[in-house]
Amino acid sequence: MQCLSGLASFATIRTKPTTLANRNSNRSAKKPKLIRAMRAVVQRVASASVEVEGRIVSEIGPGLLVLVGLHESDSDSDADYICRKVLNMRLFPNESTGKGWDHNVMQRNYEILLVSQFTLYGILKGNKPDFHVAMPPQTAKPFYASVVERFQKSYKPDAIKDGVFGAMMKVNLVNDGPVTMQLDSQSPKNTNDAVEES
C-alpha cells in the first residue's frame, strides 16, 4: 500500500497543468527585440545651415534637414529605403489646391541638408550615453558618403547639401510647423512598404 500511495503522489506532480497565466508570464519575460536599422530624423525647415569652426559650410532655404544615424549592421538596402522615403514623404502643402500633406520635397523643388549624427544610436547606461551599436567611424565615413551620393543621384546633385563628417558642428534651423518625423529602416526590410502611397 505504501508503494501505491507513492506512485499516486508522483502521478499528481507530473500531471499538474500549465496555466495560461504561466505561459503569458514566460512570454513577457523575453527581452524586447533590438532595433537594427538606419535611422533618420526628418525636419521640415524654412532654412537650415551647418557651421564648423565659425564658418558656414552648408545652408539651404525651404526644404528638409535630415539627421542620419548609421547602425553597425546597415547595408545598401537600408540606405535605399531611407533615401526613397525621405524623397517621397509628403510633408508639404499643395499651394494650388490648399491641400495639406500633399507634396514631397522634389515636387516643391526644395533642398535637403543631410547631417551625419551617430548620437541617434546612443543608449543610456545609467546617466552616461553609450554609442557601441553605432557604425564605427572608419566604416561609417565611406558609407555615409555613399548615402549622400545616393540622394544626389535620386534627386538633383545641387539640391543635396551635407555637413562635415566627424566634425564638431553647429546646426542651425528654423523648423517649419514644427514638423519632425523619425524613420527607421528596420528588419524585416519593410516588405509591406514596397508599394508607395500615391
Report the SS3 class of residue 155: coil
**Catalytic option among 107, 119, 139, 182:** 119
Q: Is 119 a catalytic residue?
A: yes
- For the question of residue 19 being annotated catalytic, the response is no
Question: Which candidate in 118, 143, 151, 152 is catalytic?
Answer: 118
CB atoms within 10 A of CB 175: 14
For residue 85, which amino acid is it?
K
Catalytic residue among 43, 92, 117, 151: 117
Scored b (16 or more CB within 10 A) or e, 43-76 reads: bbbebbbbbeeeeeebebebbbbbbbbbbeebee
C-alpha–C-alpha distance, residues 145 and 116, integer Å: 10
2 included as an active-site residue: no
Instruction: Map grid coordinates 540622394 to a residue.
Output: 151
Active-site positions read 117-119
